[in-house]
């Protein structure tokens, strides 16, 4: 999420002019009229709740999309293994057929090889023949064993492939349901925005900006942030550089670039390009990456927001973050306190506490 409604105000104002007629019905101001700040506060609370629900649904969708990728990879792996097993089974059955023909030809002669062995006049030749016969018997047993084992392996792989495919289809269906949930929640946001006048949207943007400014002042005054930022690590500098190059690109839920991103799509892609792959969703990033105090933040670290860890941004230094805010907005630089902070994580933290090599900090960028 972001703390700005300016672009949304312009978009919604056009929608209002095109779809609504002027008058009381085009507003969402509660009746009777409470004080102005109370009205804006309620509107902002409603919008933030809707955006938060949409972002939570988006991160759930993203997690399911990642699971679906894994399921598809598993199905593909099992299909390849099953194809190899079936080819091996075909070869084994061919060998078994040849064995059966040889056995039939041997039993069709008047004397079996074993009888001929007993009647042989040359003892050494008899011993040589015995060795050959034993070898043939062992080869026959091995052929039968390979055939039996390959059949069991092919049957097992076929069952696992069917199970994996059923699981993939179930995850795909769940993803479709979650996609519809996101769209429904975004529709509720659009409906609320369309019910407001351009004047209300402008006032709402100003009201939200003031709230963020106050939250940022309180955060700085609390001493939660260090007076000076350390330089980023090598990986952190590359990740931040990637994120900075995406400034101005639109937010799109479920997107991982290169033209559009959602919040965790931006951070996961940035760190992936830096050579340190991290989990796809903000909840997984919070759950799996090493946590650090806000006071230890350095550029490239990730800041997680809301108790459910439904939004993530990248620390850019000087108390600011770069992030993909929400539908209708673009990747931007914002105050760190643009939303309620849950905590921070460091993707390239060393488990033994060793220090990383440092690179120059990314260039300064003003708040958009």
17 part of the active site: no
Alpha-carbon distance 143 to 148, whole Å? 9
pLDDT value at position 198? 85
Nearest to 62 by CA among 250, 330, 245, 261: 261
Alpha-carbon distance 60 to 68, whole Å? 12
pLDDT value at position 172? 78
Alpha-carbon distance 321 to 362, whole Å? 12
pLDDT value at position 275? 95
Which residue among 17, 131, 273, 311 is the active-site one? 311
pLDDT value at position 149? 63
The set of long-range contacts for 206-209, using a CB threshold of 8 Å and a minimum separation of 24, is 207/37, 207/40, 207/41, 207/44, 208/3, 208/4, 208/5, 208/44, 209/3, 209/4
The set of long-range contacts for 356-360, using a CB threshold of 8 Å and a minimum separation of 24, is 356/233, 356/234, 356/235, 357/233, 357/234, 358/230, 358/231, 358/232, 358/233, 358/234, 358/237, 359/231, 359/232, 359/233, 359/234, 359/236, 359/237, 359/238, 360/231, 360/237
All residue ranges of the chain with pLDDT < 70 are 1-38, 82, 85-86, 88-151, 351-368
Nearest to 193 by CA among 50, 55, 58: 50
The answer to whether 248 and 260 are in contact (CB under 8 A) is: no
Nearest to 301 by CA among 193, 198, 225, 200: 225
pLDDT value at position 105? 52
Nearest to 113 by CA among 96, 87, 131: 131
pLDDT value at position 333? 96
pLDDT value at position 10? 42
pLDDT value at position 112? 53
pLDDT value at position 312? 97
pLDDT value at position 225? 93
Alpha-carbon distance 239 to 172, whole Å? 31
Those residues whose C-beta lies under 8 Å from the C-beta of residue 3, and which sit 6 or more positions away, are: 208, 209, 211, 212, 334, 335, 338, 339
φ/ψ (deg, to 5) at 261: -145, 155
Alpha-carbon distance 271 to 299, whole Å? 12
263 part of the active site: yes
Which residue among 10, 131, 263, 273 is the active-site one? 263
Percent of the chain with pLDDT strictly greater than 70? 66
The answer to whether 265 and 254 are in contact (CB under 8 A) is: yes
pLDDT value at position 37? 40
10 part of the active site: no
């Amino acid at each position: 999420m972001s703390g700005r409604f300016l672009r949304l105000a312009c978009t919604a104002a056009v929608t209002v002019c095109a779809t609504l007629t002027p008058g009381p019905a085009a507003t969402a101001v509660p009746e009777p009229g409470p004080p102005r700040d109370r009205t804006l506060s309620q509107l902002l609370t409603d919008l933030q709740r809707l955006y938060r629900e949409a972002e939570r649904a988006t991160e759930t969708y993203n997690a399911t999309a990642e699971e679906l990728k894994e399921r598809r990879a598993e199905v593909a792996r099992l299909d390849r293994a099953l194809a190899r097993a079936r080819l091996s089974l075909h070869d084994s059955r061919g060998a078994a057929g040849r064995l059966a023909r040889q056995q039939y030809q041997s039993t069709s002669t008047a004397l079996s090889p074993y009888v001929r062995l007993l009647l042989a006049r040359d003892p050494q030749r008899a011993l040589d023949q015995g060795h050959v016969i034993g070898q043939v018997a062992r080869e026959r047993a091995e052929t039968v064993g390979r055939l039996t084992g390959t059949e069991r392996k092919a049957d097992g792989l076929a069952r696992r492939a069917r199970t994996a495919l059923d699981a993939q289809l179930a995850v795909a269906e769940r993803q479709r349901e979650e996609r519809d949930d996101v769209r429904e929640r975004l529709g509720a946001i659009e409906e609320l925005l369309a019910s407001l006048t351009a004047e209300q949207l402008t006032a709402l943007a100003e009201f939200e900006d003031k709230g963020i400014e106050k939250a940022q002042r309180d955060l700085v005054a609390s001493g939660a942030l260090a007076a000076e930022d350390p330089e980023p690590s090598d990986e952190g500098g590359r990740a931040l550089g990637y994120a900075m190059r995406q400034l101005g690109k639109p937010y799109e839920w479920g997107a991982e670039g290169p033209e559009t991103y959602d919040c965790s799509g931006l951070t996961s892609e940035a760190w992936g390009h830096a050579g340190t792959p991290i989990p796809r969703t903000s909840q997984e990033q919070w759950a799996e990456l090493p946590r650090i105090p806000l006071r230890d933040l350095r550029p490239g670290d990730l800041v997680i927001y809301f108790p459910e860890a439904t939004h993530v941004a990248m620390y850019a230094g000087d108390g600011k973050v770069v992030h993909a805010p929400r539908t209708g907005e673009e990747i931007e630089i914002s105050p760190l306190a643009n939303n309620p902070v849950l905590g921070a994580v460091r993707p390239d933290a060393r488990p033994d506490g060793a220090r990383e090599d440092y690179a120059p900090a990314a260039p300064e960028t003003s708040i958009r």
